[in-house]
Amino acid sequence: MKRLTMADIAREAGVSKGAVSYALNGLPGVSDKTRRRILDIAERHGFTPNSAARALTGSPAGAIGLVLCRPARTLGVEPFFMELISGIEGELSARSIALSLQVVKDHEAEIAVYHRWWAERRVDGVLVVDVRTADARLDAVRRLRLPAVVIAGPADFDGLPSVWSDDGAAITEAVEYLYALGHRRIARVGGLPDLLHTAVRTAAFQEVCARLGFTRAETVLSDYTGEEGDRVTRRLLISADRPTAIIYDNDVMAVAGLAVAQEMGVSVPGELSLVAWGGSLLCGMVHPPLTALTRDVAGYGANAARRLLTLLEEGTVDSYQDTTAHLVPRGSTGPVPSRPARRR
Amino acid sequence: MKRLTMADIAREAGVSKGAVSYALNGLPGVSDKTRRRILDIAERHGFTPNSAARALTGSPAGAIGLVLCRPARTLGVEPFFMELISGIEGELSARSIALSLQVVKDHEAEIAVYHRWWAERRVDGVLVVDVRTADARLDAVRRLRLPAVVIAGPADFDGLPSVWSDDGAAITEAVEYLYALGHRRIARVGGLPDLLHTAVRTAAFQEVCARLGFTRAETVLSDYTGEEGDRVTRRLLISADRPTAIIYDNDVMAVAGLAVAQEMGVSVPGELSLVAWGGSLLCGMVHPPLTALTRDVAGYGANAARRLLTLLEEGTVDSYQDTTAHLVPRGSTGPVPSRPARRR
DNA sequence: CTGAAAGCGCTTACAG
DNA sequence: CTGAAAGCGCTTACAG
């Protein structure tokens, strides 16, 4: 197949290339009749303007970028990113905007990618995820003036708009629920220590536990992998005064934790209640199904993408607080056992 | 930050733009001394040529495309794609080649994406996944002469090179293993009926079961989701002459199947053996951990990406048979119970 | 409302 | 070995 150009369309329509450009882009400068004729011809041939040529004249590249900075093997089991990507894609593909995806091993490499994308004009803007409490990437995109929406919060990212969700409120709800069920000894298996939302959750968890007067309320930070979920849970369950409830910062660790309980013969929810964070289908697939702090991750991604598109079009956009994750009680939580937990 | 162009570099080096181009691309036409000076200056400024301008002169776009045609919500829990993407990315990012990702809802939309990518010169080639027994997408990429590597096989895709894995041999190994453990009634919960590899597995499964003389050997086709894994497993377990072993076409359905067995009080592996397909970490995260047909999915993606890059460079590339998935026995399989399975 | 022309930032024959 | 120039396929002021 031959790749048509605007010159071909112009020739067939008997007009100039400029007229074709105006017609295709919906700009004034051609009569309605001519416009219609040009659009018909373009449509008939399935003509799409060469994106490189457009980009060269200063038009948008028609692509946005997403860099994932996680070890490859954990990306697979972690449903969060693929759901987020699905949501982002939904917004972009409706507008025929491409998503450029790159997986890197550290922030230095990620910043290099932003530099390259910027220099090459490859993307019009980026979505930044997994924000850390001190995050050099934010400085980098600011310096490059690369339009960006940060998926994290609440925080002031000094000029960078963000889309975020109130994780503090969500975890508070979960803890209050467990308190109401009678639990007084609780543990939390947290995510990567450096991440901003880990810090937010840790602070909220400690605050609510102190307020309600839990006998024991400890956070053990981990790394979201099943291995670590397994290891930390085992340690918690063999401890002298073991918790009667555990909250996990993602669903992968919670599933692993459930397996450990089963393996050790600790009944869930009879002797131990488990709460997962993350609403992926994973939580409903195990037995007992896991009570979880759930939110619409794909919708979260869609909101972020939409904000970025607005930023690109209007040059500015406000930060947006997405809905708070809510507790979906399933089979893994129940009243605290009246008899003391069996010591081991 | 100002975006530098080759003209800026040329001016600073006191040479023509052409010389800069030759130097940057490692072409003859400049002396070693001049080349070094130009490269130094470019390096110092972190100069990267504008990708749009390059693409416009017929150079590669520096991007390859991947279209995923699965419902958004199943993409999240299915570890396969994210692992595949991780592997692809590993090959591409080393060469600074971008991955354009798009999620579509049907093949018609996917073909439209290929057309657009081709017309816009957005990508240099594509990786085609989830090939069906009759697949219009293959015709489309052939007609467009869009360089493509098909991730599927074994089959002759009429000119399109492929990277594939012998699923028939793998499932045969699994069935023979179960036979050796004494199982004579077996079921398989298959993946989407239209997919080529589902057909390959079904044929091999029936062949080996017939050869070994199983009393019962049925394949129930499904859709890879946990819901269906749950539903089909429940139906199998309440059937009169229920199987003593079940093989699942992915790990998500297998995990769901395990939960059903636990819920119904069917001991695994005491009364029921389970084999999953897919080597994601998921299989090791449940209790008991699932015996699985495992393969290096990221490596599979890397191989496919590498083949595509070779195709782009050399204009042709052979198909490649990747390693066969192998059986990793874990806790979900065991000898068939000597007493007859409990009837319900 | 329409056409001719310059320019985006590269690559690549073509002369010197 | 080096420079000047044309051209890739668009967009967009600028004249008519």
The enclosing domain of B22 has a CATH number of 1.10.260.40
Q: Do B100 and A226 touch (CB under 8 A)?
A: no
Residue A1: inside a domain: no
**Cis-peptide into B154, omega within 30 deg:** yes
Residue identified by tokens 């919960």 is B189
Q: Which nucleotide is nearest to B33 (CA to C1')?
A: D1
- pLDDT tens figures, B30-80: 888 888 888 888 888 888 888 888 888 888 899 999 999 987 767 877 889
**Domain range enclosing A109:** 63-165+297-323
Residue A55: inside a domain: no
Are B310 and B271 in a shared domain?
A: no
To test the contact with chain B by mutation, choose from A4, A223, A285 the residue with the greatest count of B C-beta atoms within 10 A, namely A285
The token pair at A324 is 């708070």
Residue B344: inside a domain: no
- pLDDT tens figures, B79-130: 899 999 999 999 998 888 999 999 998 999 999 999 999 988 899 999 999 9
B283: Cβ contacts below 8 Å, ≥ 6 apart: B251, B254, B255, B276, B289, B290, B292, B294, B328, B330
- DSSP per position, B86-108: HHHHHHHHHTT-EEEEEE-SSHH
Query: Do A219 and A202 form a contact (C-beta atoms < 8 A)?
Result: yes
CA–CA gap between residue B31 and residue A24 (Å, rounded): 46
Q: Do A287 and B259 touch (CB under 8 A)?
A: yes
Over 90: is that where the pLDDT of A71 sits? no
Q: Do A143 and B1 touch (CB under 8 A)?
A: yes
Contacts of A48 in chain B (CB under 8 A): 115-116, 119-120
Are B254 and B148 in a shared domain?
A: no
**Cis-peptide into A289, omega within 30 deg:** no
Are A156 and A301 in a shared domain?
A: yes
The token pair at B190 is 């298959």
Residue A160: inside a domain: yes
Q: Which nucleotide is nearest to B21 (CA to C1')?
A: C11
Contacts of B9 in chain A (CB under 8 A): none
Distances in Å between the Cα of A49 and the Cα atoms of A21, A36, A44 are 9, 17, 14
* Distance of C1' in D10 from CA in A11, Å: 15
Query: Do B96 and B49 form a contact (C-beta atoms < 8 A)?
Result: no
Are A301 and A160 in a shared domain?
A: yes
Query: Do B181 and B334 form a contact (C-beta atoms < 8 A)?
Result: yes
Query: Do A273 and A233 form a contact (C-beta atoms < 8 A)?
Result: no
* Distance of C1' in D1 from CA in A263, Å: 75
Provide the residue type at B79 as one letter: P
A5: Cβ contacts below 8 Å, ≥ 6 apart: A50
Q: Could you say which residues from 49 to 88 on chain B have a Cβ atom under 8 Å away from some Cβ of chain A? A: 49-56, 61-63, 72-83, 85-87
Q: Do A90 and B98 touch (CB under 8 A)?
A: no
The sign one gets for the Cα dihedral B25, B30, B32, B36 is: negative
Q: Do B255 and A99 touch (CB under 8 A)?
A: no
Residue A331: inside a domain: no
Percent of chain B with pLDDT strictly greater than 70: 98
Nearest to A258 by CA among A223, A290, A222: A290
Q: Please give the backbone phi and psi of residue B137, each rounded to the nearest 5 degrees, phi first.
A: -65, -35
Predicted confidence at residue A50, as pLDDT, reads: 86
Predicted confidence at residue B343, as pLDDT, reads: 47
In this structure, how many other beta carbons lie within 10 angstroms of the beta carbon of residue A23? 26
Core vs surface per residue A105-133: b (16+ CB within 10 A) or e: eebeebbbbbbbbbbbbbbbbbbbbbbbe
**A221: part of which helix (H) or strand (E)?**
strand A216-221
B169: Cβ contacts below 8 Å, ≥ 6 apart: B204, B324
Task: Tell me the helix, strand and coil percentages in chain A, rounded to 5.
Answer: 45, 15, 35
Are A301 and A161 in a shared domain?
A: yes
How many domains is chain B built from?
3
Residue A341: inside a domain: no
Residue B247: inside a domain: yes
Percent of chain A with pLDDT strictly greater than 70: 98
Are B189 and B288 in a shared domain?
A: yes
Are A81 and A154 in a shared domain?
A: yes
The sign one gets for the Cα dihedral B126, B130, B135, B136 is: negative
Are B19 and B100 in a shared domain?
A: no
Residue A252: inside a domain: yes
Q: Pick B301 or A338 by higher pLDDT.
A: B301
The token pair at A154 is 């609440």
Secondary structure letter of residue A271 according to DSSP:
T
Are A109 and A175 in a shared domain?
A: no
Are B148 and B225 in a shared domain?
A: no
Length of chain B: 344
3-state secondary structure of A314: helix
Contacts of A229 in chain B (CB under 8 A): 285
- pLDDT tens figures, B31-40: 888 888 888 8
| Average pLDDT of the residues of chain A | 92
Give strand ranges (E) for chain B. Answer: 63-68, 98-103, 125-128, 148-151, 162-164, 185-190, 216-221, 245-248, 273-277, 291-294, 320-321, 326-328
Provide the residue type at B36 as one letter: R
Secondary structure letter of residue B292 according to DSSP:
E
Predicted confidence at residue A339, as pLDDT, reads: 58
Length of chain A: 344
Are A172 and A278 in a shared domain?
A: yes
- pLDDT tens figures, A56-68: 888 889 999 999 9
The sign one gets for the Cα dihedral A30, A31, A34, A39 is: positive
Q: Please give the backbone phi and psi of residue B254, each rounded to the nearest 5 degrees, phi first.
A: -65, -40
Contacts of B50 in chain A (CB under 8 A): 56, 119-121
Predicted confidence at residue A325, as pLDDT, reads: 97
The enclosing domain of A281 has a CATH number of 3.40.50.2300
pLDDT confidence bin for B344, thresholds 50/70/90: very low
To test the contact with chain A by mutation, choose from B285, B294, B300, B332 the residue with the greatest count of A C-beta atoms within 10 A, namely B285
Are A289 and A190 in a shared domain?
A: yes
3-state secondary structure of A268: coil
Percent of chain A with pLDDT strictly greater than 90: 71
Mean pLDDT of A109-130: 94
pLDDT confidence bin for A91, thresholds 50/70/90: very high
- pLDDT tens figures, B155-213: 989 999 999 999 999 999 999 999 999 999 999 999 999 999 999 999 999 999 999 99
